[in-house]
């Protein structure tokens, strides 16, 4: 796959593979990416790129300026691994039991470093490229923390760009979405408070289990009956706890929890309001109290049209129109790059990781990033930079 890869990047393939394997062998969880961050910072510094550490703890930012233009763009990679026990047996498998790069952030980091190295040595552009290496994409919103700690005040940019590998999409292909690409990920807990009693004397209590069961059922009408059918959303109840050891006690309370996914904040508002209504109504019907704690998680990841069109153009030039997919549906998964897209225009693309054979799916214990796409992904970053910061 050496379609349109610049020669220096072709030559750096083995270096990027070695770097990726080293990161894969030493996975670090959210906000603990010390070794990874230090490696990234050392790599950037040794290529003469102004390097900053410390945002969100382990975050690293590189800034590369050329020419006189005030234009600036940000390219972002994530560095964290997952609490997954790797089942792969290849030499670069995780050295740390129970931790694994099962989402390919090792590859994302290596691709962006490859692009940074190339741009520092050969890049033809006028303006500033900001390389963002963020911690904690998987669970704790490292992007949000970097923003809260002043990322875009210290490094002002006109647009932000992200890329995630996508198993199932053939290597050599990319996908671009105009608009939503990933969903929000909200969480909720419902505490149902009844009145405990002897199981043989239910009239003396208020059964939170029966009320909870009714709540689980009633919640199934939120998506089907309150949303516009053209608005996609999921409400999944994934937790239900009540009772203890005893078979003869009606417990005093039940706890229910789950997740909501949608592509528009307005839809999240409608869902939350419907859940409040149902909690109040079902609780009243059963003579118990039901308290909803609805927590907004990652917002929907929504590409802006102008930037999506530009990225699509860059990709079409790089891999051809047939390999630049615009027909893929958005994913109901979530991505904390959404926080960056709330601050700045930008676009998050998927790069094909190859057919997901042998369990090579994201978050699967047999997953591995595809080394054959490292230089292709780096080339996308390079071409995007040279397009957005075109030298006069």
Give the footprint of Zn ion on this chain (CB under 5 A).
103
Alpha-carbon separation of residue 110 from 55, 61, 101, 338 (angstroms): 20, 14, 13, 22
Closer residue to Zn ion, CB minimum distance, 103 or 318: 103
Closer residue to Zn ion, CB minimum distance, 123 or 167: 167
Residue 48's Cβ-count burial label (10 Å; 0-12, 13-18, 19+) is exposed
Other CB atoms closer than 10 Å to residue 322's CB: what's the count?
9
Closest separation between CB of residue 50 and Zn ion, Å? Answer: 27
Closest separation between CB of residue 362 and Zn ion, Å? Answer: 6
Closest separation between CB of residue 149 and Zn ion, Å? Answer: 22
Closest separation between CB of residue 80 and Zn ion, Å? Answer: 8
User: Given the DSSP bridges, would you call strands 197-198 and 50-53 parallel, antiparallel or unpaired?
Assistant: unpaired
With CA atoms as reference, report the closest residue to 231 among 272, 176, 293, 183: 183
Closest separation between CB of residue 134 and Zn ion, Å? Answer: 11
Closer residue to Zn ion, CB minimum distance, 61 or 79: 79
What are the start-end ranges of the H helices in 75-141? 105-122
Strand order in the sheet with 174-175: 50-53, 60-66, 127-134, 72-78, 159-166, 346-352, 174-175, 324-325
Closer residue to Zn ion, CB minimum distance, 73 or 103: 103
Closest separation between CB of residue 234 and Zn ion, Å? Answer: 18
* Nearest position to Zn ion, beta carbon: 103
Residues 148 and 254: beta-carbon distance below 8 Å:
no
Closer residue to Zn ion, CB minimum distance, 103 or 176: 103
Cα–Cα distance for residue pair 55/208, rounded to 1 Å: 45
Closer residue to Zn ion, CB minimum distance, 55 or 103: 103
């Amino acid at each position: 796959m050496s379609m349109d890869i610049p020669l220096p990047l072709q030559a750096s393939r083995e270096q990027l593979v070695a770097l990726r394997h080293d990161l894969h062998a030493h996975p670090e969880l959210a906000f603990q990416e010390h070794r990874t961050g230090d490696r990234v910072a050392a790599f950037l510094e040794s290529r003469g790129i102004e390097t900053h550490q410390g945002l969100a703890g382990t975050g690293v930012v590189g800034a590369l300026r050329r020419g006189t233009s005030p234009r600036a763009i940000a390219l972002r990679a994530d560095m964290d691994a997952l609490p997954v026990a790797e089942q792969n047996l290849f030499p670069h498998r995780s050295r740390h039991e129970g931790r694994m790069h099962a989402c390919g952030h090792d590859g994302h980091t290596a691709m962006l470093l490859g692009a940074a190295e190339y741009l520092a040595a050969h890049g033809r552009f006028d303006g500033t490229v900001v390389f963002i290496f963020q911690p904690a994409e998987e669970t704790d919103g490292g992007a949000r923390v970097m923003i809260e700690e002043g990322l875009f005040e210290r490094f002002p940019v006109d647009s932000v760009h992200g890329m995630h590998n996508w198993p199932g999409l053939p290597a050599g292909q990319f996908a671009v979405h105009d608009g939503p690409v990933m969903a929000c990920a909200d969480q909720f807990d419902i505490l149902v408070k009844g009145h405990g009693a002897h199981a043989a004397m239910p009239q003396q209590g208020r059964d939170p289990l029966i009320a909870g069961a009714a709540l689980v059922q009633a919640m199934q009408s939120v998506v089907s009956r309150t949303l516009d059918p053209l608005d996609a959303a999921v409400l999944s109840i994934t937790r239900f706890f009540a009772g203890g050891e005893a078979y003869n006690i009606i417990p005093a309370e039940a706890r229910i929890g789950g997740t909501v996914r949608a592509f528009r904040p307005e839809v999240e508002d409608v869902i939350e309001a419907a859940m409040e209504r149902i909690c109040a109504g079902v609780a009243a019907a059963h003579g118990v109290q039901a308290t909803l704690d609805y927590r907004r998680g990652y917002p929907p990841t929504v590409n802006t049209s102008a930037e999506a069109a530009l990225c699509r153009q860059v990709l079409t030039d790089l891999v051809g129109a047939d390999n630049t997919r615009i027909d893929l549906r958005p994913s109901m998964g979530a991505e904390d790059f959404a926080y960056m897209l709330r601050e700045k225009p930008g676009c998050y693309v998927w790069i094909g990781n190859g057919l997901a054979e042998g369990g090579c799916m994201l978050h699967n214990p047999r997953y591995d990033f595809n080394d054959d796409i490292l230089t292709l992904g780096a080339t996308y970053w390079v071409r995007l930079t040279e397009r957005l910061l075109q030298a006069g």
